[in-house]
A and B are shown apart, each in its own frame.
Chain A
Amino acid sequence: MGRDSLAGLVFGARTVSLISVPAALIATLLGTLLGCLAGYWGNNRLRLPATIVLISAGTGLFWASFTGTAWWLGWATGLVVLGLWLGARRLGLQARPSSWPVPFDRLVLLLVAFLSSVPRLVLVLALAALQPPSAPMLLLVLALTFWPATAQLVRADMQHISQLPYIEAARALGLSDWRIITRHALPVIWKTVRATLPLSVATLLGLETTLSFLGVGLPPETASWGRMLATARLEPTAWWLIAVPATAILFTTLALRQLILIGRLEAAN
């Protein structure tokens, strides 16, 4: 090939810091947000006023029935809803609750189950094949498939914390949900998030190099440790083409693990 190994190594490191680290950051942010809200709101704490729900549903139906060729669909849905409402009144049920709970927790869990129904490498492989390979696309795919791991940890933490007396006290004081989450719950959860971040960077590094090795994720002209290893397969006698990027991957991952250990030691002190 005639390419310089050292240059490949350095630019591969640039790819790592431009893909794996931002993807891990985005995934952690998204996971923390969704996990926090799912753990805090649960299935029935977030309530939308019934008027807003009814008005928005009505507007949607109106729009759907007058703007498309599928006008009868909107009318049919409207008739079914009307029938249900009349039936409920007939049976003497509470026909107009003042607010409706949003099962946010269940929604997030559904989303997690949805993303984890296929192994991650296969999912990323399938999604990355949809578009011609490019770095932002890969970044997006990695971030969107990686957040459930963080979200599940944060959700478990949040469920535990939101039962504690000090959160109850904050709620009794009448603080807003947003303020309770950001000021009172997040500083506690931050420890978990900080511990998982290096691990996600390490996992994403493995995933990204694997994808580049398979020739799916990044465009061929981008230097990557995975692609360097792929060229080594064509030239079995060039041991350094395997040894050098492999050592780089090994030491990066080990260093990231070491960060977690240091974090744990600090937490213990």
Chain B
Amino acid sequence: MRRFLVSRLVHSLPAAWAILSVIFLLSRALASNPLGFEGSRGGNLSARTATPEQTQTAERLLHQRLGLDLPLFYLTPAAAPKSPSRSPTLRWRWQWNGLHNQYHIWLRDLLHGNLGYSFRDNQPVTALLLRALGSTLPLTIAAFLVTIAAAHVLTLLLARYRGIRYAVLGGLHMLHALPLFVVALLLLLLLANPDMLALFPAYGMGRADSTASWNSQLLGFLHHITLPLLSLVLVSLPALVVQLDNSLQQELKTDYVVTARAKGLANRLVVRRHALRNALLPAIIYIADLLPALVAGAVVVEWIFAVPGMGRLLAEAAAAHDFPVLLGGVLLIALTRLLAQILADWLSYQADPRTRLEA
């Protein structure tokens, strides 16, 4: 087990490191021209009264404060100093910048657990992410558990009552064809609309009212979380149910099920004790993808229902070119995915010890 874990980490961590590095280098290479994040500074008011020199100085000071004036990487191409006078074509030379460059500093801070500071309001990214996780984690984990439980129950129902198969599977296919945000909007339209049914609040996470009792706080939280949760579950459910149902139907055709029926077991027991265990194996691999998919789905859902969570943070950072926050979020999500894969491998090993543990 430990050897497997090590080899999994050896294979996956470099991939995560590489993609983060690429996003970092791309973002810095583009952000080093002021157009990249000027829009997010809200500096238009001062720009109207300041002279161009003042604006330039302010910009340079800002660059210095954010560390953007340093060279980007260990080796950077730089125009050769004497070439412009002699030939019109620029000659590029590789320049060695030493360890004092943006990439090195970023990586060193990352290894020390410092994710940098937001471009927008200069808050530490770690604090922003932790605060956002506080509202995202309950939502995602609840959606994960509810999806698995609902898929389990629905598959058993489908195996038991054959009459509802076509209707339910057809409905699931329809649902699967819709993107997440459409489902969320439809739920919003149907269940949180003063014109239709105003069962649930349209947005927010509920007030943190310290005077209210513990019970009513929990109830308020549940009241607010229902619609985001429901839309996440409704979107991730179809693929899982179709997968589980397919493999269950395959298993029900095998010989050992016929044997189990022949010795007089009840249908319920045949399905639960014998077939479902084997049918779970392919579904476990799907569950590995479910957790990162839920995190990504949270981007959309939190945007729609105005939940102050990870996804909303990411989407806002992407829209406002706030790269430290964006990178921190991507890092966290990459780690989640790694964790989910390891968990799924371990689960499938537990479900069937014959599976080879391979990275």
Where the two chains meet, the residues of A that have a C-beta atom closer than 8 Å to any C-beta of B are 64, 67-70, 73, 110, 113-115, 117-123, 125-131, 202, 206, 209-210, 213-216, 226, 229, 232-233, 236-237, 239, 242, 245-246, 249-250, 253-254, 257
Asked if A253 contacts B177 (CB within 8 A), the reply is yes
Q: A123 contacts which chain B residues (CB < 8 A)?
A: 19, 330
Interface size on B, residues (CB 8 A): 54
Asked if A232 contacts B185 (CB within 8 A), the reply is yes
Check: B195 CB closer than 8 A to any chain A CB: yes
Asked if A119 contacts B295 (CB within 8 A), the reply is yes
B81-101: which residues lie under 8 A (CB-CB) from chain A? 93-96
Asked if B19 contacts A69 (CB within 8 A), the reply is no
Asked if A213 contacts B326 (CB within 8 A), the reply is no
Asked if A126 contacts B185 (CB within 8 A), the reply is no
Task: Find the B residue at minimum CB distance from A232.
Answer: B185
- Bound Cα distance from A155 to B195, whole angstroms: 53
Say yes or no: A114-B15 contact (C-beta < 8 A), given A131-B30, A229-B182, A233-B304.
Answer: yes
- Bound Cα distance from A110 to B19, whole angstroms: 11
Task: Find the B residue at minimum CB distance from A256.
Answer: B177
Asked if A122 contacts B300 (CB within 8 A), the reply is no
Check: B318 CB closer than 8 A to any chain A CB: yes
- Bound Cα distance from A114 to B174, whole angstroms: 33
Q: B107 contacts which chain A residues (CB < 8 A)?
A: none
Q: B300 contacts which chain A residues (CB < 8 A)?
A: 121, 210, 213-214
Q: B337 contacts which chain A residues (CB < 8 A)?
A: 117-119
Q: A202 contacts which chain B residues (CB < 8 A)?
A: 177
Output the residue of B177, B193, B295 with the most chain A CB within 10 A.
B177
B294-321: which residues lie under 8 A (CB-CB) from chain A? 295-297, 299-300, 303-304, 314-315, 317-319, 321
Check: B181 CB closer than 8 A to any chain A CB: yes
Q: Which of A113, A120, A126 contacts B330 (CB 8 A)?
A: A126
Q: A210 contacts which chain B residues (CB < 8 A)?
A: 179-181, 300
Q: Which of A114, A119, A214 contacts B333 (CB 8 A)?
A: A119
Check: B186 CB closer than 8 A to any chain A CB: yes
- Bound Cα distance from A181 to B333, whole angstroms: 39
Asked if A127 contacts B18 (CB within 8 A), the reply is no
- Bound Cα distance from A246 to B188, whole angstroms: 13
Asked if A69 contacts B96 (CB within 8 A), the reply is yes
Q: B30 contacts which chain A residues (CB < 8 A)?
A: 130-131
- Bound Cα distance from A123 to B295, whole angstroms: 12
Asked if A122 contacts B202 (CB within 8 A), the reply is no
Task: Find the B residue at minimum CB distance from A118.
Answer: B334
Q: Which of A110, A113, A129, A213 contacts B318 (CB 8 A)?
A: A129
- Bound Cα distance from A152 to B327, whole angstroms: 28
- Bound Cα distance from A120 to B337, whole angstroms: 12
Say yes or no: A117-B12 contact (C-beta < 8 A), given A125-B314, A216-B318.
Answer: yes
Extra pairs beyond A122-B329, A130-B26 (18, CB < 8 Å):
A67-B94, A68-B75, A114-B19, A117-B338, A118-B19, A121-B300, A122-B295, A126-B318, A128-B318, A129-B317, A130-B27, A213-B181, A213-B303, A236-B188, A236-B202, A250-B177, A254-B177, A257-B173
Output the residue of A120, A129, A242, A253 with the most chain B CB within 10 A.
A129
Asked if A214 contacts B319 (CB within 8 A), the reply is yes
The 5 closest A-B pairs by CB, nearest first: A68-B94, A70-B96, A129-B318, A253-B177, A119-B296
Q: B317 contacts which chain A residues (CB < 8 A)?
A: 129
Q: A122 contacts which chain B residues (CB < 8 A)?
A: 295-296, 299, 314, 329-330, 333
Asked if B93 contacts A206 (CB within 8 A), the reply is no
Say yes or no: A69-B94 contact (C-beta < 8 A), given A118-B337, A216-B315.
Answer: yes
Check: B292 CB closer than 8 A to any chain A CB: yes
Check: B11 CB closer than 8 A to any chain A CB: yes
Asked if B177 contacts A257 (CB within 8 A), the reply is yes
Give chain A nearest CB distance to B291 CB in angstroms: 10
Q: A70 contacts which chain B residues (CB < 8 A)?
A: 75, 94-96
Asked if A215 contacts B319 (CB within 8 A), the reply is yes
Q: Which of A118, A126, A249 contacts B182 (CB 8 A)?
A: A249
Q: Which of A115, A127, A214 contacts B315 (CB 8 A)?
A: A214
A sample of 16 cross-chain residue pairs with beta-carbon separation below 8 angstroms, ordered by A number, consists of: A68-B94, A114-B15, A114-B19, A115-B19, A117-B334, A121-B297, A121-B300, A125-B299, A210-B179, A214-B303, A214-B318, A226-B181, A242-B186, A245-B182, A253-B177, A257-B173
- Bound Cα distance from A110 to B16, whole angstroms: 11
Q: B18 contacts which chain A residues (CB < 8 A)?
A: 114, 117
- Bound Cα distance from A246 to B185, whole angstroms: 9
- Bound Cα distance from A117 to B28, whole angstroms: 21
- Bound Cα distance from A253 to B177, whole angstroms: 6
Task: Find the A residue at minimum CB distance from B320.
Answer: A129
Give chain B nearest CB distance to A81 CB in angstroms: 19
B195-244: which residues lie under 8 A (CB-CB) from chain A? 195, 202
